[in-house]
Structure 1
Amino acid sequence: MPSDTPLILFWTRCFNKPTDIAATPQYPAPVEWTNDRRRLAEADAVVFHLPNFREAGDARKYPGQLWVAWSMESVVNYPVMTDAAVMQHFDIVMTYETGADVWTPYLPDASWWEAARHAPIPPKPERAPTVHFQSSSINKSGRDTFIAELSRHIAVDCYGRYRPNREITGLDLGRQTKIETIGRYRFCLALENSIAPDYVTEKMFDPLEAGTVPVYLGAPNAAAFVPDNSYIDVASFSTPAELAAYLHHLIETPQAYAAYLAWRSRPLPERLAGQVADLDMHPRCRLARLIAQRLTQQSTGRRPGKPSLPFGAEAFLRTRLRRWKAAWRGRPM
């Protein structure tokens, strides 16, 4: 590769798998991506998936090298993201948080919004008015208690691996079947596993795509990521019983219910359209662009000198020991 082509190394795995380099779209300018840790010394930038932070302990940081902290997981679930002693070693932050250097939200792109707006609203034949999909047991938002109480006042059909009371019938095509199933209900419980600003995931967007009204528990600023009056905020109600009473009111008042679907007949509001426009380029391409800019600003290029161990010798040895044990057991780390 030409010497002026930035080399970006993914040091950690993404959960249990190496980062899929082949899935990275081609950035307009030359850039090389790798998972090969043996190339650490020559890498211009090194990306660490923070949920796999235990794998970062044996990374040496070379002078002039850019380190990237990457995560789309809630800071509540992974508090390392708020640990100043750790984060001080990173030069670029790539997360769902709006203040990140490279913003990577769950917010869909413009083509998704156009398709959702023009898709017909499906009929709602299910006897239960409310549906919920959940496969994870993470409950830092209190959603388990919320569902249990809400279910005492309104019927909820629960799908997924976690405490289901309904099963998908027929051929399950994955996400397509999930969206079609959600579309058969008036309401979909969109309950995040934890509550943090900006952490608005597919749980909000799946029902919008399906033509159903989300009942949302999660980020306090969720309204910034969706059209006006497109969802019901759990936090606006004192109790699940009060929320259930409002849902029954909407069922009995079709015009009031339809108002929550009216966003589909209008263009996206400017504030949302502007955010969506900023996401036209794939996150990794935006990362590559920022890295190239930062490297250009380093007018002297990579500085000579010895690498450091940002997380200390003890973390280095612990991580190397875990790698050795994983290799001995035939499990990659």
Structure 2
Amino acid sequence: MSLLPRAPDNGKPVILFYNDFFGRPPDTQSLAHIESCTFSTDRGDLSRAAAVVFHIPSMRKPKLVRKRRGQLWVAWSMESEINYPLLADQQFMRNFDLTMTYHQSADIWCPYLPDISAFETALAAPIPHKNAGVPLVMFQSSPMNRSGRNSFALELMKHIGVHSYGSFLKNRPLTIEDRGHETKLSVIGAYKFCIGFENSIAPDYVTEKFFDPFLAGTVPVYLGAPNIDMFAPGENAFIDASKFSSPLQLAQFLAQLDRDEEAYRRYFKWRENGLSAEFQRLLSAASGEPFRRLAEIVAARRAAPARHWGWPWSRNRAS
């Protein structure tokens, strides 16, 4: 995370990050190779910015600056509107020309989907040996809970073995060096099941909690998006916790699968068949860095005559 200097006057359109990202500057290191636009975090560039990006979850008060004529305003968020209701405030959202969110209907889709190469690597590797000693693993640090996940997980742990490595309900320390995501996947792979409970229930809000177990070679036990089936890499690839009447019923089902190796192995049949056509379509739609896609829109708009600045270039023209 780093602050960007004021944009040089090099003729390229400027994209300004107006506010912080949960108290920190946005991650700008990956933007250096995008040559069609110049990115800035200096509000001194506001008057000449071609596009201004607002991180909506970091806005505590819906105060907005005056919009320059011809400027694009971009509402950016990968968080659920259940937790950040400004995202669901239609009147407030009318201030913006483009949305960059996890919703498939967004102008620039920003899902949590890993790159297809991550799935190709996972499919090329053997399923790890399940030698953890208990059936389930959980990584959860945030207590944020608009889905009922906290009480569900606590009750589930009363009926079946769960190793919890996150700060929430932690009962197990890491015994290897923590190298971030790589370590997380290696730990998950030693368990038959991985708990992936979202902090809120919303269509399309599917985070790494669902995808990491697939990459690690285990079976996700998921609670979250009601349209989760369309995000699965194949049929019968995960266990939907919402289909069970109680944590006890889910625990009994998982314990039965833990004892029945043949039934458990059926959850890996999708690996033999390869990624489904629908899932490959999702991966293709999500390919490419979101801010590169924004830069392409901004650059194309700069090249177009002003009389063509209707939607999708601008919903709300400034006076």
TM-score by length of 2: 0.89
Alignment of 1:144-293 (within 5 A): 144-227=150-233, 228-293=235-300
Gap change, CA 1:248 and 1:215, over 3 Å in 2? same
Aligned residues: 303
Structure 1 unaligned residues grouped into runs of 5+: 303-307, 311-333
State the secondary structure of the residue aligned to 2:286.
coil
Cα distance between partner residues in 2 of 1:298 and 1:214: 50
For the 8 Å contact 1:103–1:283, the answer to whether it is kept is yes
Q: Partner residue of 1:320? A: none
Amino acid at match of 1:220: P
Does residue 82 of structure 2 align to residue 76 of structure 1? yes
In the TM superposition, what whole-angstrom CA distance separates every residue of 1:111-161 from its partner, at most 9, and x where no partner exists? 111011112111111221111111101011111110122122211111111
Q: Secondary structure at the match of 1:67?
A: strand
2: CA distance, partners of 1:67 / 1:255: 54
Q: What is the letter of the counterpart of residue 123 of structure 2? A: R
Shift of the 55–19 alpha-carbon distance from structure 1 to 2, 3 Å rule, reads: farther
For residues 296 and 240 of structure 2, the distance between their equivalents in structure 1, rounded to whole angstroms, comes to 37
Shift of 1:20: 2.8
- Give 4+ residue runs of structure 1 displaced > 6 Å after superposition: none
Code of the residue aligned with 2:292 in structure 1: it is C
Q: Give distance in 1, aligned partners of 2:188 and 2:213.
A: 6
Identity over aligned pairs, percent: 46
Query: How far is 1:2 from its partner?
Result: 4.6
Paired with 1:88 and 1:282, the residues of 2 have a C-alpha distance of 25
Change (3 A) 1:26 1:247: same
SS in structure 2 of the partner of residue 46 of structure 1: strand
What is the rounded CA distance, in whole Å, between the counterparts of 2:299 and 2:170 in structure 1?
48
Q: Is the 8 A contact 2:122 2:215 kept in 1?
A: yes
Amino acid at match of 2:215: E
CA contact (8 A) 1:129 1:155 kept: yes
Q: Which residue does the alignment assign to 1:19? A: 26
Match of 2:91 in 1: 85
Instruction: Determine whether 1:36 maps to 2:42.
Output: yes
Q: Do the aligned partners of 1:21 and 1:35 also contact (CA within 8 Å) in 2?
A: no
Q: Which moved more, 1:238-247 or 1:37-46?
A: 238-247
Q: Secondary structure at the match of 1:189?
A: strand
1:52 to 55, 58, 62: 58
SS at match of 1:278: helix
Match of 2:120 among 109, 114, 129: 114
Q: What SS does the aligned partner of 2:73 have?
A: strand
List gaps (5 residues or longer) in structure 2. Answer: 1-8, 310-316
The corresponding residue for 2:71 is 65
The answer to whether 1:104 aligns with 2:107 is no
Compared CA separation, residues 54 and 149, structure 1 to 2 (3 A): closer
Q: What per-residue deviation string (whole Å, max 9, x for no partner) do you get for residues 176-231 of structure 1? A: 22111111111110111111110000001111111110000000111111222111
Superposition deviation, residue 25 in structure 1: 5.4
Distance 1:194 1:43, change over 3 A: same
